[in-house]
Amino acid sequence: MYSISKKITLNKQALIAKNHFSNDEIIPAALTKFTCCNCGHQNIVEIFPYETGFPIFQIYNEDKVLSKNELLHNQIVTETSQRMVHFGSLTVNDLPTLYFGTDCQACHSKYICVFSYGEKQPGLTLLNISGIWQYEELK
């Protein structure tokens, strides 16, 4: 897991075994797999609440890594509803939204994973993976 600071371009979206997790499924971590678009290898993804990921704001701040338009156009995030805007202007499912970079274990293709995590209502904690996209750094 790493942060991304250079401008990137998105390629294909990877197939994910499971995107939506709730309550006990997130303890101690949400566990899923994604299939590499390049070599077909199944990579394990573990998301530990409050440990895995970096704020998505770092990606779209000043269009540094990806622009807001690119994030919206690729349906990675949506515009946050007014009453939840304290989580940032772009989120997944109106919850605190994070991202991380990861590599395919087999061919080392680069991927970005975007997810949100938080309490949707009392007693219901959700973790939603918006998607995992293959990307390349722009020169």
Q: What is the contact mask toward Zn ion in residues 56 to 75, using x (rule: CB under 5 A)?
A: --------------------
**Which one, of 108, 122, 95, 114, lies nearest residue 56 by Cα?**
114
Of the candidate residues 11, 26, 29, 41, the single one contacting Zn ion (CB under 5 A): 41
Of the candidate residues 8, 14, 36, 65, the single one contacting Zn ion (CB under 5 A): 36
39 binds Zn ion (CB under 5 A): yes
Identify the residue whose tokens are 């990606």: 59
- Residue 129 CB, nearest approach to Zn ion (Å): 18
The answer to whether the beta carbons of residues 95 and 118 sit under 8 Å apart is yes
Residues in the chain: 139
- Non-local (6+) Cβ contacts of 91 within 8 A are 56, 77, 78, 80, 84, 97, 116
Tell me the window of 37-45, 46-54, 65-73, 75-83 that interacts with Zn ion (CB under 5 A): 37-45
75: its two tokens? 């349906």
Residues 83-122 binding Zn ion (CB under 5 A) are 104, 106-107, 109
Of the pair 66, 104, the CB lying nearest Zn ion is at: 104
- Residue 114 CB, nearest approach to Zn ion (Å): 19
Of the pair 18, 108, the CB lying nearest Zn ion is at: 108
- Residue 2 CB, nearest approach to Zn ion (Å): 17
Cα separation, 86 vs 79, in Å, equals 12
End-to-end CA distance of the chain: 22
Residues in touch with Zn ion (CB under 5 A): 36, 38-39, 41, 104, 106-107, 109
